[in-house]
A and B are shown apart, each in its own frame.
Chain A
């Protein structure tokens, strides 16, 4: 066994005995994502189900002035309940959060309608409250429906086809597939994968410089007849192993979570079977070297273990930044993006989950470019491991 192998074996043994490393690499990192994910999905499933089906209680002031409107609302699954006495009381009740939405029908509505004049109806809600906004939207859409019925009736009474006032019939044609719709939500997955793989190597990366120094084992190690390049390579490869484990666990956890979540109810069928898990793992492999080298590099500049921890916690977010930006801007994969590590892996992963064919050129650029940067950073680590400042 060569020097690199000796260092590698020792680091692996050492870290398997370290509860802190195991906790962060094999439990917190891999499970944080899937658990959060399952939580969010469950929440949105519950919400979307409650939206359409559940009866919504709506306080209506002056329902007695418009019995037809009231029965129309009931037919739209909105139950009219007791309302505050006046419009002012209603506004106060919405402000204090006692009611999410209140409908106010003025007493003159019957007269206005008979004269074919616009009748005023108020939907009182707090637009800053997202739950209230959803309820208000339902109420408003029911009121628009009633409005359309009145239009049709009036036109029919005058012998005009209601179609005459509807020159355009606008229809949304949604071409997204169930896999495609999944991609929107599952785009988050690559964020968690990268987070998890970075967590997996964090403590090992700190250990190779700041940790060894703080323990006082760095000088004895450096006084041995081995070149420092080999020491750092052994340490980086051990970090890579832990990152791989962390990533594999994270992917399996997602695989299990996605199988248990009722995603079909959201109209999603994620393409994340075991073959895709395998491919995604291979796709992220080059990023592991880059992550390990980057963390080792940053840790080598720090003065103490704690300082290294602070810097690396911040660094965990760096590779996820491009992903966040892309998710917000919803960019499509382009060849230029493939040169950017983490971004390229994210975009390719999203395509995979969408069940779209991967461009071989994109995959090649992503792998080669990420690997090249990883190797360059490793080389830099080895260079920096030679400087005296390392001893602190």
Chain B
């Protein structure tokens, strides 16, 4: 479970996040929806502990991301935006490297890696060096790398970016599998249809603040709009600059 409580983060004069708070429970898919530059990535980067919030706090399974970041990372698998692979290593070597760094014991390592390769259907490219992989192939390998240690919490930053229809479907299925397995999935997107189709809870973010929280239906009701897109726009309008 991921809890975010009133976090603030500025880069110089740019106030990227100003008072964001929400909870992403286990066994549910939570979507962070918002226009470009809303503060989605910054929030997720705080959660996978590469950034420290200026104020406020966040916990993953009860571990504070600042004071106990190692424990927080241990129960998290993260796919950062535009995650890159090591081009001179094969897809499998990329995954094995992360698996080892996650501390998977040797006895389980190969089994885990084989299973995640199968799960993400990248068996045919597993032994090729990743140089020259397509965007879809790269994303799938990066995803396999992030999930190889079977984390309870999964953070995905715009995972469907640059994916074609088939790859997007496969990704959606994987996310649903994770949900079914009782995982906490938090992902960001600026594509509303995707979020609406997949998420149990939606957190609409704009200008570093929360514009609306709830299920798709709740947000429709609250804004008084039938169409989710209209609801999204209406929610954004309510946020001060």
Contact of B88 among A14, A219, A227 (CB under 8 A): A14
Point out residues on A near B: beta carbons under 8 Å: 1, 3, 6-7, 10, 13-15, 17-18, 215-217, 219-227, 388, 391
Known contacts A7-B101, A220-B145, A388-B51: A225-B74 contact under CB 8 Å: yes
User: Could you tell me the distance between the alpha carbons of A219 and B82 in the complex, rounded to whole angstroms?
Assistant: 10
Known contacts A13-B89, A215-B86: A226-B101 contact under CB 8 Å: yes
Determine the residue in chain B with the shortest Cβ distance to A215: B84
Residues facing A in B47-82 (CB within 8 A) are 48-52, 70-71, 73-74, 76, 78-80, 82
Residues of chain B at interface, number, CB under 8 A: 33
**Are A225 and B102 neighbours in the complex by a CB distance under 8 Å?**
yes
B residues in contact with A1, CB < 8 Å? 100
User: Could you tell me the distance between the alpha carbons of A227 and B101 in the complex, rounded to whole angstroms?
Assistant: 10
**Are A225 and B70 neighbours in the complex by a CB distance under 8 Å?**
yes
Determine the residue in chain A with the shortest Cβ distance to B83: A220
A residues in contact with B80, CB < 8 Å? 216, 219-220, 223
**Are A224 and B83 neighbours in the complex by a CB distance under 8 Å?**
no
Question: B186 contacts the other chain (Cβ, under 8 Å)?
Answer: no
Residues facing A in B78-100 (CB within 8 A) are 78-80, 82-89, 93, 97-98, 100
Known contacts A388-B50, A388-B51, A391-B50: A223-B73 contact under CB 8 Å: yes
A residues in contact with B70, CB < 8 Å? 225-227
User: Could you tell me the distance between the alpha carbons of A309 and B15 in the complex, rounded to whole angstroms?
Assistant: 33
Question: B142 contacts the other chain (Cβ, under 8 Å)?
Answer: yes
A residues in contact with B50, CB < 8 Å? 219, 222-223, 388, 391
Contact of A6 among B45, B48, B97 (CB under 8 A): B97
B residues in contact with A3, CB < 8 Å? 101
User: Could you tell me the distance between the alpha carbons of A225 and B70 in the complex, rounded to whole angstroms?
Assistant: 5
Determine the residue in chain A with the shortest Cβ distance to B129: A17
**Are B78 and A14 neighbours in the complex by a CB distance under 8 Å?**
no
**Are A217 and B103 neighbours in the complex by a CB distance under 8 Å?**
no
Closest Cβ of chain A to B9, distance in Å, is: 10
Known contacts A225-B73, A225-B102: A216-B97 contact under CB 8 Å: no
Question: B146 contacts the other chain (Cβ, under 8 Å)?
Answer: yes
Closest Cβ of chain A to B145, distance in Å, is: 7
Contact of A223 among B76, B84, B88 (CB under 8 A): B76
Determine the residue in chain B with the shortest Cβ distance to A227: B70
Residues facing A in B9-32 (CB within 8 A) are none
Determine the residue in chain A with the shortest Cβ distance to B85: A217
Q: Which of B70, B98, B100, B142 has the most CB of A within 10 A?
A: B100
A residues in contact with B101, CB < 8 Å? 3, 6-7, 221, 224-226
User: Could you tell me the distance between the alpha carbons of A221 and B80 in the complex, rounded to whole angstroms?
Assistant: 10
B residues in contact with A222, CB < 8 Å? 49-50
B residues in contact with A226, CB < 8 Å? 70, 101, 103
Contact of B48 among A13, A223, A227 (CB under 8 A): A223
